[in-house]
Structure 1
Amino acid sequence: MQPAFLAAAVTLLPVVAGAQPVSGLYIAGGGGVNWTQESDFQASNSVPRAQFGSGSIDFETGYVFVGSLGWGFGNGLRAEIEGNVRRNDVDSGRMGFIAPPRRTTGHVLQYGVMANVFYDFAAPSWPVQPYVGLGAGYGWVNYQNVRVQSAAGPRVDVFGTSGDFAYQAIGGVGIPIRAVPGLSLTAEYRFYGTLDQQVPSNYVPAANTVVRRKTEVENYNHSIMLGLRYAFNQPRPVPAPVAAPAAVQPAAPSRTYLVFFDFDRADLTDRARQIIADAAQAASSTGTTRIEVAGHADRSGTPQYNQRLSMRRAEAVASELSRRGIPRSAMSIQAFGESRPLVATADGVREPQNRRVEIVLR
């Protein structure tokens, strides 16, 4: 069992990407199982309650489907509009004026429209993206041919549709898929409920006696779902910076090394220093006559700020090359700001691959 599990985990490594905050338009959908809690109910009019008493209905496990359209703000916050549908068959029921044994039939269909707000806990180094959310909207319950009846004949029929305020709490996790940037698997739990609703009903305490009333019903649900979410403007996952391998054939006319930076930073990481060390060693061993150091930035921020930031990054790399024995007189140091992106993006998008310095050995 353990070797098989480890093999599956290794197979998934190239597929799962690092988690990034959702930015821009996205769509999502999912489905799963729904448990509707036992619903207490009673006639809505005060006079016949003493005559009919109160009762409850238990439900079998049902299903839920959800679809949504939303917008990510790039800082972990998301807002969306959702449509949902749930169905559960009736399992058993009781009513005060209906003596056992009782027979129960029918099912309940629910549907609603919700406005949700989410917060994603995400970082590029995380393989998953936990999130929490709250929603409010309007939900309908449709009791379809629900009947609680005794062998002797008395029964209650609950039928028709009622709508009221709906609310929900959501907790889940997203798993980004590297093969399709912006696509994530989702797994989540939802608690969904509405205010007590009043559904048309017939109370039949005896033959040829039908009392038409509305029945007050409760509505609380627990759902476990799997789904997919696709963000249209999601940046590509950041590849691990890798120095170009030493050539075993005759050296190419030029060799390029890429040094990546964190968002709005110009300081060097340990991995960046290692890449610069490889570039310095290659420059010394191959007799390089000219070294170009070019700084770049993504399109988050103003062009003027990004120009200054890319120059700070280029100077940081040039200083590390000097410390590694490369004279500054052998370097050409330039800054291009956001004008030469490695990955084309819209204005304002944080793209990790554009936050870089290119070291070119000629």
Structure 2
Amino acid sequence: MKAKGILLATVAGVSIAAASQSSAHHQGWYVGLEAGVNWIDDTSVLFERTRFTAVEIESESARSSWWNGNSSGSLEFDTGWAGFATVGYGFEKNWRVELELGYRDNDATLTREGRYCGGEELSLAARGFCGTRTYDGDMTEYTAMINVIYDVPLTEKLDLNIGLGAGVDYVQLDLSRNGRTLTDESDTRFAFQAIAGLTYQITKRLDLSLTYRYLNVSEPSFEARYKTLELDDLEKHTVTVGLRYDLYEDEAPLPPLPPQPPLPPAGPQQFIIYFGFDKCNITPEADGVLNEAAAAAKTQGSVKIKIVGHTDTMGSNDYNQRLSECRSDAAKSNLVGKGLSAGSISTSGRGEGELMVKTDDSVKEPQNRRATIDLNN
């Protein structure tokens, strides 16, 4: 029992530790077949005596003198074989749940300790015996288990499988001696198991498995001649090789997105500021636009800035030329004050030569009193 506890604790601990890993195990429905060898630990047997009928023991004195008490023995097993069929479903994050149907068969030898306590009034069938007797036969089992399994990835194609299961075990025991049957009965008991194994991916839908199972069956009992055979827990160890087939091929992972092409260099940007009549000072509104221009220039990095001043048609051409140059110089000084290099900024004036709004001479048009700021890489 101590070894069993250590095994279960180990399985549980590894399951928790591995919960954060990912796996490429199959998802969806699958089926599997396995075959291998089965060992059963030797177990103790209690022969619980039942009373004979009046036909078997005619006198009351004979009944009272018959074997007074129960006897014991041991049941030993040869190496046998086992087969399993499974159907299950694989979930994301490496978990699987499956229904497992199993078959195990082992030859068995029962050794019974006895003592002679009978008298002449007892029939031969009712007398006890001294020494030991052996009975030969076999134990056959059919299991139905629900398993929960976690797949731990070891390599791209190799997984470690750990899990636990619970269900029922239908046990048949057939024992006889010298052609005389001691028992040929069955019992159904609760069973639980721990599972550990390796799975290797042969193809996208077919796996090869190597699996160990520890199965514990709770104290089966069997009716026998004039007695009941009560067994301790049966502890079984099974090693199998099998194939597991994925009924639905997993969807191929989406190919990685191609790298995004580099963004094209930003095209020229133009900002426009406006001035009061016959003025070249920067208004609060114009300062806000120059803030945007300075921020854009810093974001783009290395840029060349071209500032051109303009006027309306009021005044002479010479005066308007000087006024347009004053406006471009004012815009440059503002941008330099905002952290841009003076060497990256060129200025010029066009006077009234490039009107935004065509007008006659001597017309005060606010949209013509402007400066343009062009950013070029």
Q: TM-score range by the shorter chain?
A: 0.5 to 0.7
Q: How does 1:114-193 map to 2 (within 5 A)?
A: 114-122=145-153, 125-144=155-174, 146-147=175-176, 157-178=182-203, 181-193=204-216
Task: Give the aligned partner of residue 260 of structure 2.
Answer: 318
Count of aligned pairs between the two proteins? 216
Q: Displacement, 1:318? A: 2.5
What is the alpha-carbon distance in structure 1 between the residues aligned to residue 168 and residue 235 of structure 2? Answer: 14
Q: For the structure 1 residues 49 and 162, does the alpha-carbon distance in structure 2 shift closer, same or farther, using more than 3 Å as the test? A: farther
What is the alpha-carbon distance in structure 2 between the residues aligned to residue 157 and residue 107 of structure 1? Answer: 12
SS of match in other structure, 2:260: helix
What is the alpha-carbon distance in structure 1 between the residues aligned to residue 68 and residue 38 of structure 2? Answer: 34
Q: Which amino acid in 2 is paired with 1:108?
A: M
- The answer (yes or no) to whether the contact 2:112–2:132 under 8 Å persists in 1 is no
What is the alpha-carbon distance in structure 1 between the residues aligned to residue 168 and residue 68 of structure 2? Answer: 32
Q: Which amino acid in 2 is paired with 1:131?
A: N
Q: Displacement, 1:130? A: 0.5
Q: 1:214 aligns with which of 205, 221, 228?
A: 228
Q: Which amino acid in 1 is paired with 2:89?
A: W
What is the alpha-carbon distance in structure 2 between the residues aligned to residue 160 and residue 96 of structure 1? Answer: 22
Q: For the structure 1 residues 49 and 131, does the alpha-carbon distance in structure 2 shift closer, same or farther, using more than 3 Å as the test? A: farther
What is the alpha-carbon distance in structure 2 between the residues aligned to residue 90 and residue 138 of structure 1? Answer: 21
- The answer (yes or no) to whether the contact 2:25–2:151 under 8 Å persists in 1 is yes
Q: Displacement, 1:182? A: 1.4
Q: Which amino acid in 1 is paired with 2:30?
A: Y
Task: Give the aligned partner of residue 86 of structure 1.
Answer: 104
What is the alpha-carbon distance in structure 2 between the residues aligned to residue 22 and residue 94 of structure 1? Answer: 51
Render the CA deviation track for 1:128-165: whole Å, top value 9, x for unaligned. Answer: 11111111111111012x1368xxx9x98132001111
Answer yes or no: is 1:37 the counterpart of 2:36.
no
Task: Give the aligned partner of residue 58 of structure 1.
Answer: 76
Q: Which amino acid in 2 is paired with 1:171?
A: A
Q: 1:73 aligns with which of 80, 87, 91?
A: 91
Render the CA deviation track for 1:32-57: whole Å, top value 9, x for unaligned. Answer: 00001112111346999963411111
Q: Displacement, 1:31? A: 0.9
Q: How does 1:1-362 map to 2 (within 5 A)?
A: 20-44=24-48, 51-91=69-109, 93-97=111-115, 99-100=130-131, 102-122=133-153, 125-144=155-174, 146-147=175-176, 157-178=182-203, 181-202=204-225, 212-218=226-232, 219-235=234-250, 260-261=255-256, 295=257, 314=258, 317-319=259-261, 322=262
What is the alpha-carbon distance in structure 2 between the residues aligned to residue 59 and residue 77 of structure 1? Answer: 35
What is the alpha-carbon distance in structure 2 between the residues aligned to residue 121 and residue 198 of structure 1? Answer: 39
Give TM-score, length-normalised by structure 2. 0.51
- The answer (yes or no) to whether the contact 2:157–2:201 under 8 Å persists in 1 is yes
Task: Give the aligned partner of residue 333 of structure 2.
Answer: none
- Higher-Rg member (1/2): 2
Unpaired runs of at least 5, structure 2: 1-22, 52-65, 116-128, 266-377
What is the alpha-carbon distance in structure 2 between the residues aligned to residue 99 and residue 110 of structure 1? Answer: 33
Over 2 Å off, 4+ runs: 43-52, 91-104, 233-238
Alignment RMSD (CA, Å): 3.0
Unpaired runs of at least 5, structure 1: 1-18, 203-211, 239-258, 262-294, 296-313, 330-362
- The answer (yes or no) to whether the contact 2:76–2:109 under 8 Å persists in 1 is yes
- The answer (yes or no) to whether the contact 1:59–1:90 under 8 Å persists in 2 is yes
What is the alpha-carbon distance in structure 2 between the residues aligned to residue 72 and residue 40 of structure 1? Answer: 40
Q: Displacement, 1:170? A: 0.5
Q: For the structure 1 residues 233 and 173, does the alpha-carbon distance in structure 2 shift closer, same or farther, using more than 3 Å as the test? A: same
Render the CA deviation track for 1:1-20: whole Å, top value 9, x for unaligned. Answer: xxxxxxxxxxxxxxxxxx72
- The answer (yes or no) to whether the contact 1:34–1:222 under 8 Å persists in 2 is yes
Q: Which amino acid in 2 is paired with 1:87?
A: D
SS of match in other structure, 1:22: coil
Give TM-score, length-normalised by structure 1. 0.53
- The answer (yes or no) to whether the contact 1:43–1:49 under 8 Å persists in 2 is no
